[in-house]
Amino acid sequence: MRITGDHNGLAIEGRLDVRSAADARAVLHAAVDGGQGDLVLDLGRLEFWDATGLGVIMGTHRRAGRIGRRLVLRHVPAQLQRLLVATRLHRILAVEGTVPDAYGTSMPALGSLPTGPLILPTA
C-alpha cells in the first residue's frame, strides 16, 4: 500500500487490508489532524480492501467529524460503492464524482443521489 498527498488530499494505491491498516490509519489520522476543511481521499488506484480497511476509512471519517472536518471519497471503485450501499454506509460517507455502470454510462456517485424513495418507471 502507498499513500501520497498532503493534509487536504490523499491517494491510496494498492491494498487497504489488515496488513496495511495500522500504517494507513496513522497517515490518515495525521492528515486529518494537520489540516482544515475537507480531506479528499482518492481511492481510484485502490486494488483491494477488507473489513479492516473499511474500518480505517470509517475511523478517519469519525475523527474528521470530531474536529469539524469532512472526509470526502473520490474515485471510489464500483465494487466498494456496492459494499457501501449494502452496509448503508453510503448514507454517512461523502462520495464525490461519477462511476461508470456495467454499460459504460456514468451514474451519479453515492453522495449525489437523492435521499427520497427511488421511483422507477414502469413499462
Cβ–Cβ contacts within 10 Å for residue 79, how many? 11
* pLDDT at residue number 79: 87
Separation CA 32–CA 54 (nearest Å): 17
Which grid cell is 104?
459504460
For residue 91, what is the DSSP state? G
Tell me if 72 sits within 8 A of 39, measured CB to CB: yes
Which grid cell is 100?
461508470
Residues of the chain with pLDDT under 70: 97-123
* pLDDT at residue number 92: 92
- Which fold, 2-108? Transcription Regulator spoIIAA (3.30.750)
